[in-house]
Chain A
Amino acid sequence: MSSHTGKFGEYGGQYVPEALMPAIEELEDAYERYVLDNEDGFMNEFRQRLADFGGRPTPLQYADRLSERYDTDVYLKREDLLHGGAHKLNNALGQVLLAKYMGKDRIIAETGAGQHGTATAMACAHLGMPCEVYMGRRDINRQRPNVFRMRLNGAEVTPVTVGRGTLKEAISETMRDWAENVEHTHYVIGSVVGPHPFPAMVRDFQRVISEEAREQMRDRAGCLPDSVLTCAGGGSNTMGLFAEFIDDEEVDLYAVEAGGSSLAVDAEEGVAPNSATLSTGTDGVLHGSRTRVLQDYDGQIMESHSVSAGLDYAGVGPELADLVDRGRVTAVNVDDDNALEGFHRLSQLEGIIPALESAHALSYIENNRDELGDVILLNISGRGDKDLETVLEETHGRDIENAPDIETFGATGGFQ
């Protein structure tokens, strides 16, 4: 049996009900054999399917107009062009394939923005596995197109109504399903969170982002970037983008979190109106690992908030929390208003409608250009089609300087 590892400094570990521990040990063993040691050519098949089905490698694009605006070289890693429209497929395909190698016959997953749910549903259809996705009621309402996509791919979508009905509740509910059906079901967790081996394994499935990007930077720019930026919710695209740059000490790594409407917390109501876990969270235990979490004085987990459903989570990957503690990664945050501005800016300047998650990272450049050096690598982790309704609503209620005139849509009854 494998040794008990999975610690990142003080963080990580395996804080789960005993019923799940045997499955987690089995998964640890499978991760080591198939992913780390490429047993039975698992990684070859994974890479081939990422290419054929997923469309990898994704391009690295020089962003002319952003570069001009900021008087610097801005390169975009286009994960929005991966099949499904976000980086999520890298992990979902890896885990569903691993489940097949392990002989499991059912897949469950949680989803927040719906991107991980759609990626898992696609991977399950592709590999012929039944799939059930748990999604918070509130997220179902704000991400309807993704719910429909999951259904089209044959997945069951089960609403979670407890709490505020977002990602935190969906993860808890998926863990409950797993505890009941653990003997034949694999839980495809959607980020670098949860008990070991999930944080390490999901990072290794997402690592392809930085393997490609580092190579592409050398080819295109002839150098490594001065700074690498991406958004961080749970942190899977973040760890995927950072993984291969961690040893390049001259490269600054920025994890851009959702500042929401405010960094202040309402302890009385147990609400943090942001998802800035790395910036404001404290050491705690959530969903199977020790990490930084948004919690009150007693240790009750707070409800987080972000205009972007995909960043709306009270925890963060333990490895990322450790990298921030060690000073290797800088945690910064961008609030809802600025994220919306970033969304409109990329749409207008580069013809790319980004996911609201990715818009946070872009927006950080706007106000912090001077600290980022001459060559910037920015991950566009996903495309924004899923967010159009949210952006329409949220832009309407705010004073967003660079937004197009959207009254036209209001007049046609497109939104309330």
Chain B
Amino acid sequence: MSSIAEAFADGPAFVPYLAAGDPDYESSLTYVEALERGGADVIELGLPFSEPIAEGPTIQSAIVRALEAGMTPTRYFEFVADLDVDVPLVCMTYYNLIAQFGDDGERGPEAFVRRAAETGIDGFVVPDLPAEEAGPLREACDEYGCELVFIIAPTTRGERLERIMSQVSGYVYVQARLGTTGARTALSDRTAESLERITDWDVPKAVGFGISTGDHAQRVIEAGADGVIVGSALVDIVAQGVERGDPAVTVADRLEGKARELTEGALRGMPAADGGPHPERT
């Protein structure tokens, strides 16, 4: 069983996202580590790209901060190596950075995935890479034992679902509503409908886009998801810290607290076994 599969194996998974290097290298390391303390089962770690077309304003700003602080693909892999966490890591980035990675002798998905796998990355999610264009990256993932997560949107139907199902591994990222990433106060009512389309898929289903509270997390799990993905609500905490000039340790504590709220929310949503009390994870 892959490490990502294990992370989903016992109870709902909490999958937080942060952009690596936001707002600077050292603080960002402690922020990602705080997520693990708060209960993260898998961490999606953003590799910043200059044209993040799938991101709303919150994550766009995080990406700008990280790029301005000097984050590059090479620094990113150093960052991953420096991280002291035991949970699986998923690299979230845009395809051009993958296509360009390497040196002039050899650039592209194979070089990128090899380096990522050596460094400790377990999987990838690439929002601007639909299944149709994913062949080379899928092959590289197979070669190096990495997972390739795909997003399905509320608009994904019919043949497209089958095409994605045949390529996805690790987990499927169920986009709860249309649009870009961003925290919302209300949860999309399309979540249950989205999950119904893929009940027969044999990969875990993690729901993201707009989840910002423990209550949201609970309801997503109650709707049948195996995991919750939360990005903007966490990035908001980083942004607030930058704005107020808070010390990194304070921001890390807040992130840990938010992560715990979301982890606990997800646990509350888990169906009770044999009508008994909710099983607790150790």
Question: Which residues of A are at the interface with B, using a C-beta cutoff of 8 A?
Answer: 1, 4, 13-19, 21-23, 25, 162-163, 168, 172, 175-176, 179-183, 270, 283-288, 290, 293, 295, 297-301
Contacts and interface: CB of A to CB of B under 8 A. Distances in A.
Interface in B47-87: 49-56, 60, 64, 67, 72-74
Contact of A1 (B50, B95, B154, B159): B159
B151 interface: yes
Given A21-B130, A176-B53, A287-B53, A299 B180 contact: no
A15 B67 contact: no
A300 B150 CA distance: 23
A33 B265 CA distance: 49
23 contacts: A15-B133, A16-B128, A17-B53, A18-B150, A18-B160, A18-B175, A19-B155, A19-B175, A21-B132, A176-B53, A176-B55, A176-B179, A179-B179, A182-B178, A183-B178, A284-B100, A285-B94, A288-B128, A298-B72, A298-B100, A299-B49, A299-B101, A301-B50
B126 to A, nearest CB: 9
Which of B56, B67, B132 has its CB near the most chain A CB atoms (within 10 A)?
Answer: B132
A13 B131 CA distance: 12
Classify the secondary structure of B's interface with A. loop
Contact of A19 (B74, B95, B157, B178): B178
A22 B152 contact: no
Contacts of A22: 153, 155-157, 160
A287 B130 contact: no
B180 A18 contact: no
Given A17-B53, A19-B179, A22-B153, 12 more contacts: A21-B155, A21-B160, A22-B157, A172-B52, A172-B53, A181-B178, A182-B178, A284-B99, A285-B128, A299-B49, A300-B49, A300-B67
B128 A21 contact: no
A285 B160 CA distance: 22
Contacts of A15: 95, 128-130, 133
A288 B179 CA distance: 16
B128 A17 contact: yes
A4 B14 CA distance: 36
Interface of B: 49-56, 60, 64, 67, 72-74, 94-97, 99-101, 127-130, 132-133, 150-157, 159-160, 164, 175, 178-180
Contacts of B160: 18, 21-22, 25
Nearest to B129: A15
A288 B96 CA distance: 10
Given A176-B179, A287-B53, A295-B96, A18 B101 contact: no
B206 to A, nearest CB: 14
Given A270-B50, A287-B51, A295-B100, A176 B56 contact: yes
Contacts of B180: 176, 179-180
Closest 10 CB pairs of A and B: A299-B100, A180-B179, A19-B153, A285-B96, A300-B50, A22-B155, A299-B96, A17-B54, A301-B50, A299-B97
Nearest to A6: B132
A179 B179 CA distance: 5
Given A21-B156, A175-B53, A299-B101, A13 B96 contact: no
Given A19-B175, A179-B178, A285 B152 contact: no
A16 B130 contact: yes
B99 A285 contact: yes
A303 to B, nearest CB: 9
Nearest to B127: A17
Contacts of A175: 53
Nearest to A270: B50
B178 A13 contact: no
A300 B157 CA distance: 33
A180 B99 contact: no
A181 B180 CA distance: 11
Contacts of A284: 96, 99-100
A299 to B, nearest CB: 3
Given A180-B180, A183-B178, A299-B97, A17 B51 contact: no
B235 to A, nearest CB: 15
A270 B50 CA distance: 10
B91 to A, nearest CB: 14
A288 B37 CA distance: 38
Nearest to A162: B60
Nearest to A302: B50
A297 B107 CA distance: 11
B100 A180 contact: no
A1 B99 CA distance: 28
Contact of B153 (A18, A176, A181): A18
Contacts of A183: 155, 178
A158 to B, nearest CB: 13
A22 B130 CA distance: 11
Contacts of B97: 298-300
Nearest to B47: A298
A285 B159 CA distance: 25
Which of B50, B97, B132 has its CB near the most chain A CB atoms (within 10 A)?
Answer: B50
A175 B127 CA distance: 13
A17 B96 contact: no
